[in-house]
């Protein structure tokens, strides 16, 4: 039965590490694991679900752009409201010149939010519950921040920033100390971003998985293909925390840009 398969898969994952609910690729692998394509999808399932979210967002963006009108429909109106809210949020931190970062940071928020919510859909999985996904996102932010710093400050200005912007004899004497501290600080930012998002989304998935297994076990003596839905309150909690984590990731990324930009741009 399906519920027994879910409980069995969760137990197997618990032995390997954090328990998780099976997705449709897992079911395909259990039935057709010998097929090369299914084995490939099972091995790269996190990449598959990440691309699925990305392609869906691209399709929505293209459809809204091509069908844009002066009197917007529900879809165009909803997208415009989200874009305007994100632009106001980012420009509120970075100032007027922060608008050029809205496409990147706004896309980052929507992409992370959709990946967080994907795991709440039966048969799907949250790619952000995998450290590889969150680390890749954090590295993108890190590289863009460093590129922005070099482009805005210049090579000399960027190096001065990394040296603590020395202006007198004392600050110049502290340069040998400031440079390694700033390097460690910059490298720690993507690690903190990735671990925070990964840990919270994984925790949500584990919590929901445990209560799904508990609901199945509670009615196991009746041999029914269903269980008690103990996990429903935690699904609503995951909707809240998933939104907060996407917002925190975007907020911290925006602050990293703010710290790298010249002060007169704030």
pLDDT the model gives residue 263: 65
pLDDT the model gives residue 224: 64
Q: Which two tokens stand for residue 238?
A: 């995951």
Q: Which residues contact 81 (CB under 8 A, 6 or more apart)?
A: none
Q: Which two tokens stand for residue 1?
A: 């039965």
Percentage of the chain lying above the pLDDT 70 cut: 89
pLDDT the model gives residue 160: 87
Q: Which residues contact 21 (CB under 8 A, 6 or more apart)?
A: 6, 9, 10, 119, 125, 205, 208, 209, 212
Q: Which residues contact 179 (CB under 8 A, 6 or more apart)?
A: 162, 163, 164
Kindly give the interhelix angle for 232-260 and 131-162, rounded to the nearest 10 degrees. 20
Q: Which two tokens stand for residue 261?
A: 């930009």
Higher per-residue confidence, 150 vs 230: 150
238 pLDDT band, cuts 50/70/90, is: very high
Determine the 3-state secondary structure of 44 from DSSP. Answer: coil
**Cα separation, 262 vs 214, whole angstroms:** 54
Which segment of 6-10, 88-92, 172-176 scores lowest on mean pLDDT? 6-10
258 pLDDT band, cuts 50/70/90, is: very high
**What residue spans define the domains of the chain?**
2-265
Q: Which two tokens stand for residue 91?
A: 């420009």
**pTM across the whole model:** 0.88
Q: In the block, which residue shows the tokens 């415009």?
A: 80
- Max Cα distance, the chain (Å): 80
Higher per-residue confidence, 39 vs 227: 39
Whether 5 shows a pLDDT value over 70: the answer reads no
Residue-wise pLDDT tens digits, 11-70 = 455 445 567 788 889 888 888 878 889 888 989 999 999 999 999 999 999 999 888 888
**Cα separation, 238 vs 117, whole angstroms:** 8
């Amino acid at each position: 039965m399906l519920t027994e398969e879910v409980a069995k898969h969760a137990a197997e994952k618990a032995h390997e590490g954090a328990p998780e609910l099976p997705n449709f690729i897992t079911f395909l692998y259990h039935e057709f694991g010998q097929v090369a394509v299914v084995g490939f999808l099972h091995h790269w399932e996190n990449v598959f679900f990440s691309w699925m979210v990305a392609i869906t967002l691209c399709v929505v963006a293209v459809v809204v752009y091509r069908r844009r009108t002066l009197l917007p429909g529900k879809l165009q109106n909803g997208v415009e409201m989200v874009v305007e809210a994100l632009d106001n949020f980012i420009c509120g931190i970075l100032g007027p010149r922060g608008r050029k970062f809205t496409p990147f940071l706004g896309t980052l928020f929507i992409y992370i939010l959709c990946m967080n919510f994907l795991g709440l859909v039966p048969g799907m999985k949250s790619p952000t519950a995998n450290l590889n996904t969150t680390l890749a996102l954090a590295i993108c932010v890190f590289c863009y921040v460093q590129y922005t710093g070099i482009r805005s400050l210049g090579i000399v200005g960027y190096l001065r920033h990394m040296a603590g912007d020395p202006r007198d004899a004392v600050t110049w004497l502290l340069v040998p100390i400031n440079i390694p501290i700033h390097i460690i600080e910059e490298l720690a930012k993507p690690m903190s971003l990735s671990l925070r998002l990964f840990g919270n989304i994984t925790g949500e998935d584990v919590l929901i998985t445990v209560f799904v297994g508990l609901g199945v076990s509670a009615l196991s003596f009746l041999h029914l293909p269903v269980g008690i839905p103990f996990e429903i309150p935690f699904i609503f909690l995951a909707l809240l925390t998933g939104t907060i984590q996407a917002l925190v990731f975007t907020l911290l990324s925006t602050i990293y840009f703010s710290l790298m930009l010249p002060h007169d741009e704030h």
